[in-house]
Structure 1
Amino acid sequence: MAQIGSFTRGENGVYTGEIRTLTLRVKATIRPCEREHDKAPDHRVSANGVEFGACWTKAARETGAEYLSVKLDDPSFPAPIYATLSQGDEGELKLIWSR
């Protein structure tokens, strides 16, 4: 698992940070959104005013700790990127890529 981003959470529930890969380096925001149905995302990911991802709130089975399950997609990607946004050891939120 590789860390591809780091975020902080504001009092308004908006996460701000940066996503970095070999081909991508953007300042991004993750904002809560209204859910239209049960499978709709809880948050939307955007950079430079363009939405390119969605997040769902999940809870770890063993600890019950909440995290965001993230899906990023863009026409320039060969396939969607799946990641989790969870609390790091030092209080920061880490975006961890998984395949």
Structure 2
Amino acid sequence: MSQIGSFTRSNDGTYTGTIKTFAIDAKARIVPSDPASTSDKAPDLRVIVSGDEIGAAWRRTSKDNRSYHSVKLDDPSFTAPI
């Protein structure tokens, strides 16, 4: 899979960077979700561009015990979320 974004983690737990696809070329922030959610399927983080949520991320652990985020983006120009 090709890389469409690059982010840097801040001390406050947010990430800042850019997302670049055919339809999007924007600065983005990945911020913690509302901790009040009780659903197991609720995302851990939200992807924000220009104040609008365009995606979500979930914390995962790989088979070799490394942490990563699984991110899903959605945009009206996409035929389906990526």
* TM-score, L = length of structure 2: 0.92
Name stretches of at least 5 consecutive residues in structure 1 with no aligned partner.
82-99
Between structures 1 and 2, the one with greater strand share: 1
| Inter-partner Cα distance in structure 2 for 1:73 and 1:22 | 13
| Inter-partner Cα distance in structure 1 for 2:55 and 2:15 | 13
Aligned residue identity for 1:27:
K
2:56–2:71 CA contact under 8 A, matched in 1: yes
Name stretches of at least 5 consecutive residues in structure 2 with no aligned partner.
none
Aligned residue identity for 2:20:
R
Aligned-CA RMSD value = 1.0
Partner in structure 1 of residue 65 of structure 2: 64
Tell me: higher relative CO, structure 1 or 2? Use CA pairs within 8 A at least 6 residues apart: 1
Describe the SS at the equivalent of 1:3: coil
| Inter-partner Cα distance in structure 1 for 2:51 and 2:69 | 21
Runs of 4+ with deviation above 2 angstroms: none
For residue 23 of structure 1, report the CA deviation from its aligned partner: 2.1
Partner in structure 1 of residue 27 of structure 2: 27
* CA distance 1:80–1:35, shift in 2 (3 Å): farther
